[in-house]
Structure 1
Amino acid sequence: MKLNCKRIDFEYTPGEEIFTFPEDTGLPFIFDVLEEELTENKEAMDIVGKMLDEAEALADKAKAVLKQVLSDETHKRYGTVSYFMEFHRDEVDPETAAALFPETDPVSLSFVEMVDYLNLKRFGSCMDEKMDQQEFILDFSFNPEVTDELMVVYFNLEKEVVEITHES
């Protein structure tokens, strides 16, 4: 089947997982659909194509939400997001911090400012088992060649952030 997407010409096999690297697709990030249930559902895959066309807009929205979380210490995800930032600014050695935040003094960066240094590294779709609903996953990293830590933002079909996690 052909993915209904303006941004890439992509063929997939219904009922098989999709996992691609940038050099395979021309996308600047990994693209995957790791649920056979989704790849065999044309409607779900049409939604994947539409959301993939909007990946950068979703990434911008995710960053705005991360900044909002960091601006509110009472937010339920504040601890997760602030720990991710603190680790990369304060817990790594100075050389690593310099590699993560080039052309700036990492110590002087606020957590909110650090969000601007995050890069979209993966765009994927899966099923949320609790809600039995398709969702979209955006993995962000400062620099995957330096750190394997990820800030992961989950979106629902309405393009609303439903979860934020820190993974490695």
Structure 2
Amino acid sequence: MKLNCKRIDFTYAPGEEIFTFPEDTGLPFIFDVEEKLTSNSAAMDVVGDMLDVAEELANKAKDAIKAALADENSAYHDIVTYFMQFHRDEVDPDTAAALFPGMDPAKLFYAEMVDYLKLNRFGSCVDGETDQQAFILDLSFNPEITDELMVIYFDLNKEIFCITHES
């Protein structure tokens, strides 16, 4: 089957998981889709549509992270604050300098750090709690330096329903 997507020409086998690296697709991030979805052409059409706007979703995710940092009552405030604190204050100084080139990490505000996050993975799966198709974006400062991720889950309406920290 061919993915209905404007940004890449991609063929996949229905019923088989998609898991590709940038060098295989030309995308600047890992692309993966759960095998359950590859058998459903309507779900795969949505994957193609969402893939076309992946960077817009990443920017929306960054805005949500900044909002959570600013709102101590946000359900995600502690998660995103710890993520930023870890990368600025708890890694060794050489690592922090590599994550934020040209900046003095000690002087960075957490909200400023969000701008350094990059989309590392775009994926789609069936959410275990809602049994609905969801989209997952992994954001990282630099996956070659740290395996810590901000993981943002989007629903079919491009609304965020979960932000978590994974490593």
Band of TM-score, shorter chain: over 0.9
Counterpart Cα distance in 2 of 1:94 and 1:16 = 43
Which residue number corresponds to residue 131 of structure 1? 130
| 3-state SS of paired residue (2:115) | helix
Shift of 1:130: 1.2
Aligned to 2:50: 51
Q: How does 1:19-30 map to 2 (within 5 A)?
A: 19-30=19-30
Asked if 1:161 is matched to 2:143, the reply is no
- What is the Cα deviation at residue 46 of structure 1? 0.2
Misfit runs of 4+, over 2 Å:
none
* Corresponding letter in the other structure for 2:15: G
Q: Which runs of structure 2 are paired with 1:79-118 in the superposition (5 Å)?
A: 79-118=78-117
User: Counterpart of 1:6 in structure 2: which amino acid?
Assistant: K
Q: Write out per-residue CA displacement over residues 47-103 of structure 1, whole angstroms, 9 at most, x where no aligned residue.
A: 000000000000010000100000001111111110000000000011000000001
Structure 1 counterpart of 2:71: 72
Count how many residue pairs are aligned between Structure 1 and Structure 2: 167
Structure 2 gap ranges (5+): none
- Separation of aligned partners in 2, 1:129 and 1:166: 18
> Does 1:7 find its partner at 2:7?
yes
Query: Distance in 1 between the 2:72 and 2:102 partners?
Result: 28
Within 1, Cα distance between the matches of 2:131 and 2:146?
33
Aligned counterparts of 1:36 and 1:137: Cα–Cα separation in 2: 15
Q: Secondary structure at the match of 1:13?
A: coil
TM-score of the superposed pair, with normalisation by structure 1: 0.98
2:146 and 2:26 map into 1 onto residues whose CA distance is 23
RMSD: 0.5
Q: Does 1:152 align with 2:151?
A: yes
Q: What letter matches 2:17 in structure 1?
A: E
Q: Distance in 2 between matches of 1:43 and 1:11?
A: 15
What stretches of structure 1 of length at least 5 have no aligned partner? none
Q: Normalising by structure 2, what TM-score? A: 0.99
